[in-house]
Amino acid sequence: MKFELNFLPSGATDEDIFEHIREIDSIVDKEFLTQQDFNTHSKIHSGTLVRRFGDWTKVLELAGLGNKATGCGVFGVPRAQISNKQRQQKARYMTNDEILEELRRIAKDLNKDSVTFEDVRNHSEMLAPEIVRRRFGTWAVGMEKAGLKVTEMYHRRYSDEECFENLLNVWTHYGRQPVYSEMKSSPSKIGPDTYKRRFGGWRKALEAFVSRMNQEENSEGQPVFKKEEQIPQVRVQIRRRIVAVEDKHNIGLGLRYKVLSRDNFKCIRCGRSPATDIGVELHIDHKLPFSKGGKTILENLETKCKECNLGKSNRHIE
């Protein structure tokens, strides 16, 4: 599997990128366009733009949005340039009560009864989420002292398949291998630290993902075990109908990855991709409809955006 490190859209000109920035600005519709808000809606990470054009203020100026980088936040630094490290430095001088009050303010502004790490990163200029955990021992204790709830996902223990499913969604979103920091933002529902803990590191998590995607599947749609890993037969006869993968309507995780990768994470009809067009949702579709005898095999599957796929229904289009 080829790992793509440069995730700017292939062939995109500087003007294409600046137009994209202006489009994101119209979506965010705030007085200032911060890197955090930009990353929430964009398929191009702000860090890539900074490396390509200079600091964030320079990026906005080149896009004709220089006024979006004006105004001072904490430390006298333009709001768009406040880093997580600077917020940590500021938070060091906050009392516990001030930290708890800031958490409550964020929850109130977002109209939520709980806040996440990302909520703090994206909506506070003076508080870094790491400080909450450091000051109160755990994130959950901090939420409790602030009178807020801990999200269900905080206590969630994910299986390997759930981690891989989430990683595939993010991979599809960018049209390439995601980087560690991108797992902190939507569409990812599982943070990068979970992958580090479960697989022993982010690189190892990626290697496990690619290995899983490349595994052949047996008739049950499960990964094939090596001979020495085969589970011993239990001496009890269990009668059940074995259904081949190709005869199932559901498309397994590995097969979906192969189809998306083959089609370059783009709709084969209109050419749109989540990596370049905001809001595009990709589906895996049977060329010959399953209801008409179409098989769930690589040759009979193709990538389509939601609009092109729903427009087809169950008609067979050549």
* Whole-number pLDDT of residue 318: 52
* Whole-number pLDDT of residue 73: 42
Which domain, by its residues, includes 186? Answer: 156-215
* Whole-number pLDDT of residue 104: 93
* Whole-number pLDDT of residue 150: 78
User: What is the C-alpha separation between 284 and 124, in angstroms, rounded?
Assistant: 39
In a domain, residue 313? The reply is: yes
In a domain, residue 142? The reply is: yes
The bridge status of strand 301-305 relative to strand 282-286 is: antiparallel
Average pLDDT, the chain: 77
Residues 208, 137 share a domain: no
DSSP classification of residue 186: T
In a domain, residue 5? The reply is: no
Q: What is the CATH number of the domain that holds 303?
A: 1.10.30
Assign 10 a pLDDT band (cuts: 50, 70, 90): low
pTM for the full predicted model: 0.53
pLDDT tens for 112-140 read 888 887 778 778 878 888 888 889 988 88
Question: Which one has a higher pLDDT value, 268 or 72?
Answer: 268
Percent of the residues in the chain that have a pLDDT greater than 70, as a whole number: 76
* Whole-number pLDDT of residue 2: 39
pLDDT tens for 268-308 read 999 998 888 877 889 999 999 888 888 989 999 999 998 99
Mean pLDDT confidence for 187-207? 87
Residues 250, 279 share a domain: yes
In a domain, residue 310? The reply is: yes
* Whole-number pLDDT of residue 216: 58
In a domain, residue 128? The reply is: yes
Question: Which one has a higher pLDDT value, 45 or 298?
Answer: 298
* Whole-number pLDDT of residue 152: 59
Residue 78, pLDDT above cutoff 60: no
The amino acid that residue 18 corresponds to is F
In a domain, residue 102? The reply is: yes
Residues 193, 132 share a domain: no
How far is it between the farthest Cα atoms of the chain?
A: 74
The first and second tokens of residue 71, run together, are 């105004």
Mean pLDDT confidence for 99-122? 86
CA distances from 188 to 29, 168, 205, 212, 310 (A): 23, 10, 15, 19, 25
Assign 70 a pLDDT band (cuts: 50, 70, 90): low
Residues 112, 74 share a domain: no
Listed range (62-76, 120-134, 137-151) with the worst mean pLDDT: 62-76
Residue 71, pLDDT above cutoff 60: no
Question: Which one has a higher pLDDT value, 80 or 251?
Answer: 251
In a domain, residue 118? The reply is: yes
Question: Could you give the number of structural domains in the chain?
Answer: 4
In a domain, residue 223? The reply is: no
DSSP classification of residue 97: H
User: What is the C-alpha separation between 292 and 311, in angstroms, rounded?
Assistant: 17
Closest CA to 28 of 82, 63, 68, 61: 68
* Whole-number pLDDT of residue 46: 79
